[in-house]
Structure 1
Amino acid sequence: MEDRAAIPVTLPRDNPTQSYWQLDIDEVADLRSTETLPSEVDTVIIGSGITGAAVAFNLLNNGSRDIVMIEARQACSGATGRNGGHTKAASYLSFLHHQHEHGSEMAAKIARLELANIRAVHEFAKEHGIDCESNPCNTVDVVYDADQWQTAHKAIKALQDAMPGDDASVYNFHSPEEMREKFHCGKGVCGGISYEAGSINAYKFTIGVLKLCLEKGLNLQTNTPVTDVRGSSEGVYHIETPRGVIKARRVVMATNGYTAHLLKRFQGVIVPLRGHVTAQRPGLNMPKTGLPGTYSFFYEKGYDYMIPRPKGCKFEGDIIIGGRLTSAVSDGLNEYGTTDDSTEDEDTMHDLHNTLPQYFGDNWGKDHPDGRIRNQWTGIMGYGPDGLPFVGEMPGKKNLWVSASFQGHGMVLCWMSARALVEMMEGRDGDELRRWFPDVYRVTEPRFDLTFKGRMHTRGDPSTLEK
């Protein structure tokens, strides 16, 4: 893993695989608000995914102006526009680890923030009328491994003991019989766990937020890779691009897995990881009324996540399923350190193609006459050494701000992390912010000395959860 983490992080690649969500490209995808780059502005935001859009919206909504957002490729073409659209926390999976490392109070604060993030995203979409297939719903974790089933009980009890009566501690267990009858699962299931979650078209949601920002005066510059960010003795940053240099008082890095390309201190600290996703047509025996929510499937070596497309949307009933990291050579080791989302791992995609008939058994039936696979693609996530985001000001770099490293968990971390970052940027970094935002997410000097060892507490592995 050390060798993979040491691979120099590059800019986003040209000609990425086409995401299912971007089969219909939005009109702002290639927008340049001005023909040329402004020479000097107050704020530059690098990255146009959900983090960059949320930071821009909060700044503009609070009265800031003179903001330029720079994107290397099309708008929202990175992880946000390529993920499965799962607004799902699964906070119990990390609770024992967080409790051991940071104490019960901090572990509870993290769980509350994740649920608050889910609700805030769906509420924002509703409030602002963003057409993004927002679908608050329940989810179920389908567990096939006996050790993980036992550990899940232990973790949820610990979470509920620490958060009695709290919304973020509401989990329901289901027997194998219930999993077959209610959730249409096949054989071999130990049980299931259901709780509050949701799904959303993250591309449409973020494009919607960007359009709100454009109405408030955001200058969006797409297809403009940033090649360097240099500070000066005058406290001004020089943002270098092939189209020219912009001077700015402050800079926000909303670059997730690509952060180390511009901020070398994050090399080996925020490590890119390539994920694989497919969109599949449902089998002919699958319920015509649709599945009861979203799913994740936990097995001995890993997990997959699954989102049925909600009623009323294009390709209604399609099933988005991603994961299978351990299907690749050496349990997916070579997927770490790569920023190449223009290609895919054949073994991983092959296994993803065949997951759904395995999970649903006889309930799947024959494949759709048009074929099982509608689309397949890859995307780049960002993982850190302690399983937590990096949010805040760079040590020793005044007005150089970061919100990145979302551990493949961005749809339940990015929105509230962006809100917290803006509070810090505008000088409201006091007790009120600390009341709801975990201090362990902040950018601090000691975190740069941690060793990256791969994904943490993301698959319910008892050995990971109990460390």
Structure 2
Amino acid sequence: MDQRAAIPVTLPRENPTRSYWQLEPHEIADMRTTGLLPGKAEVVIIGSGITGAAMAFNLLEKGTRDIIMLEARQACSGATGRNGGHTKAASYLSFQAHEKHHGTAVAVKIARLELANIRAVHAFAREHGIECDSHPCDTVDVVYDAARWEFDQRAVKAMQDAMPSDDASIYALHSTEEVSSKFFCGHGGDEKVYGGLSYEAGSINAYKFTTGVLKLCLEKGLNLHTNTPALNLERLKGGGWKVETPRGSIEAQKVVLATNGYTANIWKKFQGIIVPLRGHVTAQRPGLSIPKDRLAGSYTFFSKKGYDYMIQRPQGTQFEGDIVIGGALTNAVADGLEEYGTTDDTTLNDDIVKALEDSLPKYFGDNWGKDDQEGRIRNVWSGIMGYSPDGLPFVGEVPGEKDLWVSTSFQGHGMVLCWMCARALTTMMNGRSDEDEGEGLSSWFPEVFRITEERMRLTFRGRLRN
């Protein structure tokens, strides 16, 4: 892993695989708000995914007006626009580890933040009329390994003991028979189902959601420049930063890195600290026997070696009934070791793609039926995530670098972390400890998410979230 983590992180590659969500690029995909790149700004945000969009919206709402956003490729062309469509926390999986390393209070705070993030994203889409296939729904985790099923039951109990009356700890456990009858798994499949868990989650077109947020920001005065990579940061003697791009330089009072897996390219001290990991996702036409309107909103399938994650496109959406499934990392050579450290989303790993292409008839068995006459696979793509040594995001001001701010490294879990982390970072940047509603930042934001010198000295050993 040391060799993979040491691979120099590049800028986002040109001509990436085409994401299912971007088959029809948004009208702002190649937008440059002004013909020329301004020479000065109060804030420069680097990255136009969900974190960058959320930061821009929050800062504009709090009164910042002179904001330039830089994007190396098209708007929202990174991880946000290439994900699997989930808003799903699965907080029980990491709860006991958080409790062991950080204490029960912190573990509870993380679980609450994740659920709050899910609800906030869907509420924002609803409040602002963003058409993004927002679909709050339950999810189910189907477990194909006896030891994991025992672990899951212990983990749920630990959460419920620690937070007995909290929404974040509401899980329903399902027997093998219930998983088969209610969720259509385990009947005719190749592997034994040991049980399942269902809980609150959702699915969403994150590309449409984020471009919708960016449109709101443009209306409030955001200056967006796509296809304009940030090449270098230089601290100015009088304070602030110079951001160099191929189209000229910008002097900014503050810089925000919303760059996730690409962060080490622009700030080299993150090399080996935020490590890219390439993920793969497929969009598949449902089998002719699959119930198009009765599947759970989303699924995760856990085996002994790894997991796959899946949503079915809700009714009334484009490609209604399509199944979007990603994962299969451990099906690659050496459990996917060569997927770490790469920023190449222009290509695919054949072993992972083959595993994903074959996965659904295995999971749904007799309930799948014959493939659609147009073929099972509609689209396949890859994307780059960012992972940290301790499995937590980095949020805050970079130690020793005044006015260089980050909200990055979301462990493939950004749709249940980015929104609330952006809210916290906005509060930090404005030098305030309290939100408008009167609740202090420390009451809901986990301090272990803050970037520190100590965390920057940790050694990356691989992904920690299951």
Shared fold (TM-score, shorter chain, > 0.5): yes
Confirm or deny that 1:350 pairs with 2:319.
no
Residue aligning to 2:117: 117
Q: Indicate the RMSD between aligned Cα atoms, in angstroms.
A: 0.8
Confirm or deny that 1:281 pairs with 2:285.
yes
Residue aligning to 1:183: 183
Confirm or deny that 1:427 pairs with 2:435.
no
Residue aligning to 2:220: 216
C-alpha offsets along residues 283-304 of structure 1, whole Å, 9 cap, x if unaligned?
A: 0110142412200000010000
CA apart distance, 1:62:
1.1
CA distance in 1, matches of 2:17, 2:465: 28
C-alpha offsets along residues 21-41 of structure 1, whole Å, 9 cap, x if unaligned?
A: 000111100000000100011
CA distance in 1, matches of 2:153, 2:459: 30
Residue aligning to 2:104: 104
CA apart distance, 1:233:
1.5
Residue aligning to 1:254: 258
The amino acid across from 2:6 in the alignment is A
CA distance in 2, matches of 1:243, 1:229: 14
CA distance in 2, matches of 1:229, 1:119: 36
Q: TM-score, normalised by structure 1?
A: 0.97
Contact 1:281/1:372 (<8 A) preserved = yes
Confirm or deny that 1:442 pairs with 2:460.
no
Contact 1:290/1:317 (<8 A) preserved = no
Confirm or deny that 1:454 pairs with 2:458.
no
Residue aligning to 1:135: 135
Worse-superposed segment, 164-173 or 431-440: 431-440
Residue aligning to 2:234: 230
The amino acid across from 1:9 in the alignment is V
Contact 1:276/1:376 (<8 A) preserved = yes
Contact 1:44/1:70 (<8 A) preserved = yes
CA apart distance, 1:451:
1.0
Report the 3-state secondary structure (helix = DSSP H, G, I; strand = E; otherwise coil) of the residue aligned with 1:182.
Answer: helix
Confirm or deny that 1:152 pairs with 2:152.
yes
CA apart distance, 1:236:
2.1
Report the 3-state secondary structure (helix = DSSP H, G, I; strand = E; otherwise coil) of the residue aligned with 1:147.
Answer: helix
CA distance in 1, matches of 2:71, 2:266: 13
Alignment of 1:13-92 (within 5 A): 13-92=13-92
Contact 2:68/2:224 (<8 A) preserved = yes
Gaps of 5+ in 1: 459-467
Contact 2:240/2:403 (<8 A) preserved = no
Residue aligning to 2:321: 317
Q: 1:267 is matched with which residue: 264, 268, 271?
A: 271
CA apart distance, 1:429:
2.9
Contact 2:114/2:416 (<8 A) preserved = yes
CA distance in 1, matches of 2:363, 2:339: 25
CA distance in 2, matches of 1:181, 1:212: 44
Confirm or deny that 1:12 pairs with 2:21.
no
Worse-superposed segment, 79-88 or 288-297: 288-297
CA distance in 1, matches of 2:158, 2:67: 45
The amino acid across from 2:141 in the alignment is D
The amino acid across from 2:338 in the alignment is N
The amino acid across from 2:93 in the alignment is L
CA distance in 1, matches of 2:270, 2:152: 33
Residue aligning to 1:462: none
Report the 3-state secondary structure (helix = DSSP H, G, I; strand = E; otherwise coil) of the residue aligned with 2:454.
Answer: helix
Confirm or deny that 1:417 pairs with 2:421.
yes
CA distance in 2, matches of 1:207, 1:38: 22
C-alpha offsets along residues 51-96 of structure 1, whole Å, 9 cap, x if unaligned?
A: 0000000000111101000000000000000001100000000001
Contact 2:122/2:136 (<8 A) preserved = yes
Contact 2:293/2:321 (<8 A) preserved = no
CA distance in 2, matches of 1:238, 1:106: 37
CA distance in 1, matches of 2:292, 2:352: 29
CA apart distance, 1:329:
1.1
CA apart distance, 1:449:
1.2
CA distance in 2, matches of 1:76, 1:247: 24
Report the 3-state secondary structure (helix = DSSP H, G, I; strand = E; otherwise coil) of the residue aligned with 1:284.
Answer: coil
Contact 2:298/2:312 (<8 A) preserved = yes
Identity of aligned pairs, percent? 68
Gaps of 5+ in 2: none
CA distance in 2, matches of 1:319, 1:289: 12
Residue aligning to 1:365: 369
Report the 3-state secondary structure (helix = DSSP H, G, I; strand = E; otherwise coil) of the residue aligned with 1:276.
Answer: strand
Report the 3-state secondary structure (helix = DSSP H, G, I; strand = E; otherwise coil) of the residue aligned with 1:354.
Answer: helix
CA distance in 2, matches of 1:71, 1:402: 16
CA distance in 2, matches of 1:433, 1:439: 9
The amino acid across from 1:385 in the alignment is P
After TM superposition, what 4+ stretches of structure 1 lie above 3 angstroms from structure 2? none
CA distance in 1, matches of 2:265, 2:296: 42
Q: TM-score, normalised by structure 2?
A: 0.98
CA distance in 2, matches of 1:215, 1:31: 13
The amino acid across from 1:403 in the alignment is S
The amino acid across from 1:452 in the alignment is F
CA apart distance, 1:129:
0.1
Contact 2:141/2:196 (<8 A) preserved = yes
Contact 2:293/2:315 (<8 A) preserved = no
Worse-superposed segment, 208-217 or 257-266: 257-266
The amino acid across from 1:182 in the alignment is K
Contact 1:97/1:457 (<8 A) preserved = no
CA distance in 1, matches of 2:296, 2:71: 37
Aligned residues: 458
The amino acid across from 1:453 in the alignment is R
Residue aligning to 1:463: none
C-alpha offsets along residues 83-130 of structure 1, whole Å, 9 cap, x if unaligned?
A: 011000000000010000000000000000000000000000000000
C-alpha offsets along residues 257-314 of structure 1, whole Å, 9 cap, x if unaligned?
A: 0000111111101000000000000001101424122000000100000000000000
